[in-house]
Amino acid sequence: MIRTPLRPLARILDARLKGQNPDVIEKANLAARNDALRDTSRARAEKRLILLALCFFAGFSVIGARMGLVAASTPSEPRAAAGGSEISAQRADIVDRTGRILATNMLTSSLYAQTNDLVDPAQTAAALAAIFPEMKAKDLVRRFTDGRSFLWLRKVLSPEQQQKVYDIGEPGLYFGPREMRLYPNGTLAAHVLGGAAFAAEGVNSAQLIGTAGLEAALETRLSDPAQSSTPVTLSIDLTLQATVEEVLATGMATLHAKGAAAILMDVRTGEVLAIASLPDFDPNDRGAVAPVKDQGDSPLFNRAVQGVYELGSTFKIFAVAQAMDLGLVTPDTLIDTAQPFKVGGYPIREFDGHNYGPTKSVSDVIAVSSNIGAAHIGLMIGGERQKAFLTSMGLLDPPQIELIEARSAKAHFQSPWSDISTVTASYGHGIATSLLNLAAAYATIGNGGVKVTPTLLHSDTHAIGPRVITQATAKACVTMMRRVVTDGTATFADVPGYQVAGKTGTADKAKTVGRGYQKGHVVNTFASVFPASDPQYVLVVTLDDPVETAGPKPLNTAGYTAVPVAAEIIRRIGPLVGLRPLLDETSLLQVNAPPKQPLAQE
Amino acid sequence: MRPFLFILSFLAMVASAFWAYRENYTTQAQLKDMAGLQDQIADLRDQIAMQKAEWAYLNRPTRLRDLAAMNFDRLGLMPMAAVQLGAASDVALPAAAPLLMTGTVQDGAGLTPVLVGAEGGQIP
């Protein structure tokens, strides 16, 4: 670029000649130069601004386009994510303590119809009615043609049924995927598992919710997506549960009982190894249970947890335990058992018109099960202390266990606690509680007096409860209960090798309507701990209205009904739980080798 | 020098564009592949769950009990009882029988036959 001089010599000389000021020329030139400079700078700045604006425009356009695309497109799962942590909408499995499946999910299909797509409603209805026995062709035709466009036909289908529906070839029938709750063991542990049903239903999925038992009580845990791949481990042992149910069912049938229940519990941890209530139902098809008039007789009713019964003489050990703990008696103290004996005008009688003489030792009162003896011990303790003690044993509260039914099983007892309550409560009458509470209370005695809280969940750690009675008292109680089996009312329970200790109880059944008792109808209970030298397990067996008809005279005391059933259960489960049998020399001589037989004839 | 640099950078751009194009398609192929695999995994999981359920169903205690009852005689089974159980220490080991050496011993002239216990100790 050629620079224009500010003072061009020619013009300066010319101006000087004319007598003008040459500085004016310089100023004019300077101004012109500045103008030119300004113009070029402006042009450059303008260009830069446009470029910048273009950049911004492009940037914002890209963002805007992306936003529009995201908003307009259908959402899809990010498939590139690493699949390590498993999150699914499935309901968690339930397994027993050794990992065997008690409840799991199965993929099936539901069936629905879009009536607008139906080609031939009448023929479709006939074909469906042929596949599903519960459908009626006439109803279906009416429902297909009454103007609705959508209708559910079946909640779940078996694969065979699905194939048959495919074979109809009707385009208006659709399948939706369904996760179904499956209980592979059928009726086994039915009352523990409860059952599940569909709640909110959509075409592509349905929500499974627990309707009873553990499924309902642990709903949040089971339906938590983050924990759905970890199964819930129960304390139940499938083998023990099956054995207990089998023996109990046989006992119930032989003794013509209306119902039966049994609980097997670990004394140290309170873990329930088996809990059965009969009659039972199939949790896979809970709806199939026919309704009955008396809720307490329904197969759905859990007699072991939900039912509150007067448990009779099994309560005597609690009166004795408390009296010993308070220092009022020792096992050898003589107790007045003389008849007649009246409290508040009510005569207290021994069972079946027995008379045990003027006095009996405390140990004998338990062994022969004297009501009058227990009543005297109860009176020594006094009502207030007795009620507090029974509460501390957990007998007056609803049972604490992971079942939804437990919450409603409130214990029944007279309020206010009168003298007659004290007397009757010492031998287990006038007070009705859940069988599970009784099992827990016996576990507390077996556990050396430290309170045991029952649980259905298996865990390696368990909280240690408060001490309720002293260790010495607990030990003495077990020794006394051992005497009940060796030479008392429960001699049938003396299973060799397992040193069973227990207490029988026979209570008249309370009327379901009104006050008083049903004549000739009893609830028989046998509560036991074994082995007596080092209690490990508690077994409680109860039979509703049994009668033993093998002998010349029908018998319905616990010693002839609940006790033999409990003994058979202990005989069967003893080897299963891995208890080392404590045998003496003579019983060891009875070992006989298995018969030698050829295995198979190949 | 300058034009050479221009050409070089242009070639580099073409090369990287080609590389990015190929990478894009391999990534998409991989994603598709992975989606397929994940579907397969989900399918297999369902199948495993089904097999487990079936296994549990076939091993339900009532069925096993019936099977045991059916084959009770054939297999020579016996009901489990307390007397069949014991500690390993209760099982008697077979007693070590003493070895009787008879006949004359050639090397040790004048030695009388001796009884040698199982452990090798001599019994006079």
Cβ contacts (< 8 Å) between B85 and chain A: which residues? 575, 580-581
Here the tokens at position A178 are: 């369904």
Cβ contacts (< 8 Å) between A587 and chain B: which residues? 83
pLDDT per residue, tens digit, chain B (124 aa), is: 889 999 999 999 999 999 999 999 999 999 899 888 988 988 888 888 889 889 999 999 999 999 999 999 998 888 877 777 777 777 778 877 777 766 665 665 555 555 555 444 444 4
pTM reported for the whole predicted model: 0.78
**Mean of pLDDT values over A89-97:** 85
Q: Which of A76, A77, A79, A88 is the best substitution to test chain B (most B C-beta atoms within 10 A)? A: A79
Q: Which of B28, B44, B85 is the best substitution to test chain A (most A C-beta atoms within 10 A)? A: B85
Element (H, E) at A366: helix A362-368
Element (H, E) at A4: none
**Number of Cβ within a 10 Å radius of residue A91:** 23
> How many Å from the N-terminal Cα to the C-terminal Cα in chain A?
116
Shortest distance, CA B4 to any CA of chain A (angstroms): 28
Nearest to A354 by CA among A366, A342, A371, A367: A371
Cβ contacts (< 8 Å) between A105 and chain B: which residues? 49
**Mean of pLDDT values over A191-214:** 86
Nearest residue on chain B to A184, alpha-carbon basis:
B57
Most trustworthy range by pLDDT among A40-44, A385-389, A509-513:
A40-44
Question: What's the rounded Cα separation, in Å, for the pair A350 and A339?
Answer: 9
A168, A279, A541 from A142: Cα distances, Å = 19, 40, 54
Question: What's the rounded Cα separation, in Å, for the pair B103 and B66?
Answer: 63
Residues 6+ apart with CB under 8 A from A204: A176, A177
Q: Looking at residue A588, what is its pLDDT?
A: 47
Interface of A with B in 553-592 (CB under 8 A): 571-572, 574-576, 580-581, 583, 587-588, 590-591
Domains belonging to chain A, first-starting first, are 94-132+148-233 (3.90.1310.10), 239-580 (3.40.710.10)
Nearest to A247 by CA among A547, A497, A574: A574
Cβ contacts (< 8 Å) between A103 and chain B: which residues? none
Does residue A590 carry a pLDDT above 60?
no
User: Does the beta-carbon distance from B76 to A597 stay under 8 Å?
Assistant: yes
Shortest distance, CA A468 to any CA of chain B (angstroms): 34
A142 pLDDT band, cuts 50/70/90, is: confident
A325, A402, A476, A491, A518 from A395: Cα distances, Å = 18, 17, 21, 27, 24
Q: List for chain A the helix, strand, coil content (%; round to 5).
A: 40, 20, 40
Name the interface residues of B facing A (CB cutoff 8 Å).
Answer: 31, 34-35, 38, 41, 46, 49-50, 52-57, 59-62, 65, 73-78, 80-85, 87
Does residue A287 carry a pLDDT above 90?
no
Pairing of strands A259-266, A308-310: unpaired
User: Does the beta-carbon distance from A581 to B82 stay under 8 Å?
Assistant: yes
Least confident of A265-274, A278-287, A348-357, A559-568: A348-357
User: Does the beta-carbon distance from A79 to B35 stay under 8 Å?
Assistant: yes
User: Does the beta-carbon distance from A594 to B59 stay under 8 Å?
Assistant: no
Does residue A598 carry a pLDDT above 80?
no
**Domain regions of chain B by residue span:** 2-83
pLDDT in tens, A298-349: 889 999 998 888 888 899 999 999 999 898 988 888 888 887 888 877 888 8
State whether residue A80 is helix, strand or coil.
coil
Cβ contacts (< 8 Å) between A76 and chain B: which residues? none
State whether residue A218 is helix, strand or coil.
coil
State whether residue B78 is helix, strand or coil.
coil
pLDDT in tens, A222-258: 888 888 888 999 999 999 999 999 999 999 999 999 8
Does residue A452 carry a pLDDT above 50?
yes
Asked if the peptide bond before residue A496 counts as cis, ω within 30 degrees of 0, the response is: no
User: Does the beta-carbon distance from A185 to B61 stay under 8 Å?
Assistant: yes
pLDDT in tens, A406-421: 888 888 888 888 888 8
Shortest distance, CA B36 to any CA of chain A (angstroms): 10
φ, ψ of residue B95 to 5 degrees: the values are -70, 145
**For chain B, what's the residue count?**
124
For chain A, the average pLDDT equals 86
Q: Quick one: CA dihedral A62, A65, A67, A69, positive or negative?
A: negative
Q: Looking at residue B58, what is its pLDDT?
A: 93
User: Does the beta-carbon distance from B80 to A595 stay under 8 Å?
Assistant: no
- What ipTM describes this predicted complex? 0.73
φ, ψ of residue A328 to 5 degrees: the values are -80, -35
Shortest distance, CA B94 to any CA of chain A (angstroms): 19
Q: Looking at residue A337, what is its pLDDT?
A: 85
